[in-house]
Structure 1
Amino acid sequence: MVMPNFLIIGAAKAGTTALHTYLQQHPQIFMTPDKETNFFAYQGETLDFQGVGDTAINQFSVTDLVTYQQLFAGVKDEIAIGEACPLYLYHPQAPQRIAEHLPGVRLIVILRNPADRAYANFLHLVRDDRELERNFIQALRGEAQRIQNNWEWFWHYVQLGYYGCQLKRYYDIFDADKIKVYLYEDLVERCHWLLQDLFNFLQVDPTFIPDMTIRPNKSGVPKNSILHQFLTKPNLFKTLSKPLFPERFRQRIQHSNLVTPKLSPEVREFLITLYRSDILTCQDLIGRDLSAWLQNG
C-alpha cells in the first residue's frame, strides 16, 4: 500500500491549513482529502476525550494502519504524497511512530509566535462555540485542570507553544536535512518564496503557483452569532445554495463577520516569560532569529 513521503507536522494555528490547501492544488502532489488524520499520535488507541465538542476528534481520528493506508488509495502518479496534522509536532510519541513507518519521510514545520499562537487557538475555539470562557487569562488558568480531565490536545493553549522541546524530539531521530522549518511570517509576508522553497524541498515543479486568495481557518469572535451559525453549521439552505456561491465568496462573508480582539500587553508579557527559554532553544535548533517573539509589541 502507498504511504506518504512527507508530512506537515505543525504547529497548530500557524498556517498548516493554508499549506494543506495550497499543496493540494499542485498536480505533482497528493494530499489526503481531509486534514488531520492524527494516526501517528493515536495509533492503536481508543479515544475518549471529554472536553466540550471533543466527540469530533474521537470520531474522525484514524487509529489503525489499514484505514490510514486507504486514505492514499487515490494516489496516481504524484511525486510527493503527504498529509497535514499539527498534532504530530506536539505529541511525544509521534516522532518515533513516524520513524518506524516512514523512515525516509520529509517533515515540514511552520511556527508562529507562541503567544499569538495560543491566543489564536483560544479564539478558534471561541469561534466554534466550544470555549465557554470568554476571558483568555481565565482559560489559561484552567488549562492544567482541563488536561487532567482528558480534554483533547487543542485545548492545551500554553503547552502547544513549547516548540524547542517538541522539535528536539524530531532532530534527535531524523536527519536535519529532512526537516524544513518555516515561520508564520514567511507565509504572510513572502508566501511565493515559501511555496517555491517548499516545492523544491518536495522535489516537485517549483514554478507552479497555486491560488492563494483562499486563506482558510481564520480565528476570531463572530460579530453576528446568528449569521456565523448560519454560515458554519449544517443547514438545508446552505447545502442548496453552495453550488450558487463559490467558496471564495462564502469565505469572504464568513471572515468579514469575525473580529479579532488584540491580545493585552499584560497577557502577552506573561506568555513571553513562560516561553523565553524555549524560544531561545528553538532559535538555536532552527537557525532563525526569533528575537521578535520576545518583544511585547
Structure 2
Amino acid sequence: MVFPNFLIIGAAKAGTTALHSYLQQHPQIYMTPEKETNFFAFEGKKLNFQGTGDEAINKFSITDIINYEKVFNQVKNEIAVGEACPLYLYSPEAAAKIKTYLPNVKLVIILRHPVSRAYANFLHLVRDDREPNKDFFQALQLESQRIKDNWEWFWHYIQLGFYAQQLKRYYELFSSEQIQVYLYDDFLVEPIKIIQNIFDFVQVDKTFLPDLSIRPNKSGMPKNLLLHRFLTKPNPIKTLLKPLFPTSVRQKIQHQNLVTPEICLASQKLLLDLYREDILECQDLIGRKLSNWLK
C-alpha cells in the first residue's frame, strides 16, 4: 500500500496545475495521473454541489480510502509520491485528516496576491462558461448566497484568499520543517529556481530540468467565444483534427484567444479592505514581507 509522501495543497489559481505538470516530468517523482482527488477534504461525504458545472467535482472527487489507494497503484520505485490539490489548503477538515493518514508528509504551498487570485478564479470560471455573471464586482456580491446554496468551493472567490486562517490549521498540526511556502510572484520570475527548490525539499535530483514550454490552465475572457468553445468543448471535427495539431499548438491558439481585462477599482478596494488584516497575519506566519500585497 502506497500513500503520498508530499502534497501540493494550494492555493487555487496560484500555479498548482503548472507545478503538478512540471513535477510529473521528473523520473523520481510520481504524481497522480489526474491532478486532484480531493480525498482529504471529502472523505466519507456524499457530494451534491449545486453550482453551474459542479457535477464534475461531484463525479471525480474520491471519497473513500479504497479508491484513493488505487490512485497510487502504478507507483514503482519513485522516491517522491505526490498529489496536487488546492482544496486542501482551504478545507477546514483536510489538515486534520492529512495528519491522521500522513503524519510525516511534506507540504508545498504557493500563495498568490489574494486580490489577483480572486480575479483569476473568476476569469477561470468565465473561461469555462460556468460563471453566468460577467461583472466581477457583481459576482463578488453573490458569493455568500452561492455558499448558502451549496455551490462548490471554487466559487468562493473571497473566502479562498484568507490565507492566514488556512495556514494556521497546518502550522498547528505539522512541524515547520514539513511545510514549504512559496510566492506565485517568485514562481513567475524564477520558475526553475522554485521548482528545483521543491525537488530538493522532496529529496529527488534537484538538477533535473522540466519542460516549461506548456503553460496549463491559463485564465481569461475569450475574445472569440465560438473559437473558444470549438477549442475547449468536445466535437467530432476537433477529434479528427487533433492528431494534426500537437498540444502546444492547440494551447497556444487557445491562450491567444484569451484576454485579461483590468480589474475594476471598486473590486480591488473591496477585496483589499477585507484582506488587509489577514495579509499582515500571513506575513508573520510565513516570514516573508507582503507589503506589496497591501498596495
**TM-score for the superposition, normalised by structure 2:** 0.99
- Give the structure 1 partner of residue 48 of structure 2: 48
Corresponding pairs, count = 295
> What percentage of aligned pairs have identical amino acids?
64
Separation in 2, partners of 1:201, 1:150: 37
- 5+ long unaligned stretches in structure 2: none
1:252 aligns with 2:252: yes
- Give the structure 1 partner of residue 277 of structure 2: 277
- 5+ long unaligned stretches in structure 1: none
- Give the structure 1 partner of residue 103 of structure 2: 103
- Give the structure 2 partner of residue 268 of structure 1: 268
Separation in 2, partners of 1:293, 1:30: 34
Q: Which amino acid aligns with 1:180?
A: Q
* Alignment of structure 1 residues 56-71 onto 2, 5 Å: 56-71=56-71
* Alignment of structure 1 residues 108-187 onto 2, 5 Å: 108-187=108-187
1:230: Cα distance to partner?
0.6
Separation in 2, partners of 1:242, 1:209: 28
Separation in 2, partners of 1:249, 1:83: 27
- Give the structure 1 partner of residue 194 of structure 2: 194
1:70: Cα distance to partner?
0.4
What's the secondary structure of 2:173's corresponding residue? coil
Q: Which amino acid aligns with 2:68?
A: Y
Separation in 2, partners of 1:35, 1:238: 24
What's the secondary structure of 1:263's corresponding residue? coil
Separation in 2, partners of 1:58, 1:43: 12
Once the two structures are superposed, residues 27-70 of structure 1 have per-residue CA deviations (whole angstroms, 9 ceiling, x without a partner) of: 00000010111000000000000011111100000000010110
**TM-score for the superposition, normalised by structure 1:** 0.98
What's the secondary structure of 2:59's corresponding residue? helix
Q: Which amino acid aligns with 1:197?
A: N
- TM-align CA RMSD: 0.7
1:243: Cα distance to partner?
2.2
Q: Which amino acid aligns with 1:292?
A: N
Q: Which amino acid aligns with 1:75?
A: V
Separation in 1, partners of 2:143, 2:269: 18
Separation in 2, partners of 1:240, 1:81: 36
Separation in 1, partners of 2:163, 2:170: 11
1:238: Cα distance to partner?
1.9
Q: Which amino acid aligns with 1:191?
A: P
Once the two structures are superposed, residues 86-135 of structure 1 have per-residue CA deviations (whole angstroms, 9 ceiling, x without a partner) of: 00000000000000000110000000000000000000001111000011
What's the secondary structure of 1:8's corresponding residue? strand
1:237: Cα distance to partner?
2.0
1:240: Cα distance to partner?
2.4
- Give the structure 2 partner of residue 289 of structure 1: 289
1:239 aligns with 2:239: yes
Separation in 2, partners of 1:139, 1:187: 28
What's the secondary structure of 1:109's corresponding residue? strand
Separation in 1, partners of 2:133, 2:65: 37
Separation in 1, partners of 2:175, 2:19: 23
Q: Which amino acid aligns with 1:261?
A: P
What's the secondary structure of 2:208's corresponding residue? coil
- Give the structure 2 partner of residue 205 of structure 1: 205
Q: Which amino acid aligns with 2:194?
A: L
1:248: Cα distance to partner?
0.8
Does the Cα contact within 8 Å between 2:137 and 2:266 map onto a contact in 1? Answer: no
